[in-house]
Amino acid sequence: MGDDVSSNLLILHTWPPGCAGRALDRAVFAANVPEARRLVLNDPMHGLRSRFPAALDPLSEELRVVTGRLPFGYLDGQRDRILHVCVISDPELAFLRFAACLSSVSDAHVINATGRAGVDLPLTDPELLVARLLELQPVRARRIGVATRLCAGLPCLSDRPVDQAQLAAALANLGRVNALCGREEHLDAFARYLADVMGWPAPERGLAEKLTAPILAPSELSPKLRDRLRQALDMDIRLHAAVSGELGACVA
């Protein structure tokens, strides 16, 4: 994709929490797009109360990248030449990464992540921590079903469980011609493909190896707890399974 073709392209990089979006953003977008034309928007209600940043409007003739909790379909009908980009991670790994981060951060970060103060978390016991997190409604609203909601075109934060209709909408959106979706398992190949499409140099390899390790491997959880986790993440697991291959072809 030459400069004349990509010059007025707006790339919306949807980054579900716990997934590999940060690695892709640094390796591909930050390495090739000037900072003045990149923006991170992590408002969990983006798409309902947020608007396209006016600061980027004067740059409408140049390639721009907006990364964050962006619902698919955001700005449809308002901007021409939009490319949606997303990487889907194994939902179990994403949740267990979240638990790993909580076990080694400040109280303020715990409050921000769990949505409440005074939460008593068993940070030294991985099994008990995962079980406790699954019980907290603020955590479920922020971490369960997020990839499905975002890909369905909904804000990532919701107290309502994701459902089959939202999964169907997510799969339809990932099948769009202006959507590129990859899987974390093939992050290097997806990053190289994206860079090649844009005419950028090949990014570094080993991107997935730099991601935060989960607090436990899914297989190390007790069978009962893993069943609870998989049941909670059911729609995101189905979404992840439907995105197949190195380049993330949607096979709904």
Partners of 179 in the beta sheet?
A: 84
- Rounded to the nearest 10°, the torsion over CA 204, 181, 164, 241 is -60
**DSSP symbol at 72:** T
Query: What pLDDT, on the 0 to 100 scale, is given for residue 126?
Result: 94
Residues with Cβ < 8 Å from 226, sequence gap 6 or more?
A: 92, 218, 219
Distance CA 46, CA 14 (A): 11
Query: What pLDDT, on the 0 to 100 scale, is given for residue 40?
Result: 84
- List C-alpha distances in Å: 24 to 89, 96, 118: 12, 20, 34
Distance CA 9, CA 229 (A): 39
Query: What pLDDT, on the 0 to 100 scale, is given for residue 31?
Result: 95
pTM value? Answer: 0.85
Query: What pLDDT, on the 0 to 100 scale, is given for residue 75?
Result: 75
Give one word for 176, left, alpha or beta, with left for phi > 0 and alpha for psi -120 to 50.
beta
pLDDT, averaged per 10 consecutive residues of the chain (252 residues), comes to: 64 87 92 90 63 60 85 73 90 93 61 57 90 91 92 88 94 86 91 93 91 94 98 95 65 37
Query: What pLDDT, on the 0 to 100 scale, is given for residue 250?
Result: 46
Query: What pLDDT, on the 0 to 100 scale, is given for residue 81?
Result: 81
CB 67 within 8 A of CB 29: yes
CB 148 within 8 A of CB 237: no
CB 130 within 8 A of CB 229: yes
Question: Which pair of tokens denotes residue 185?
Answer: 């398992």
- List C-alpha distances in Å: 169 to 81, 157, 162, 189, 249: 21, 17, 11, 26, 16
Q: Where are the domains of the chain?
A: 3-90+162-212+242-250
* Exposure string for 112-145, b = 16+ CB within 10 A, e = fewer: ebbeeeebebebeebeebbbbbbebebbbbbbbb
Pure H helices in the chain: 3-6, 21-24, 30-32, 91-102, 107-114, 126-135, 137-143, 146-151, 164-174, 187-198, 223-232, 234-242
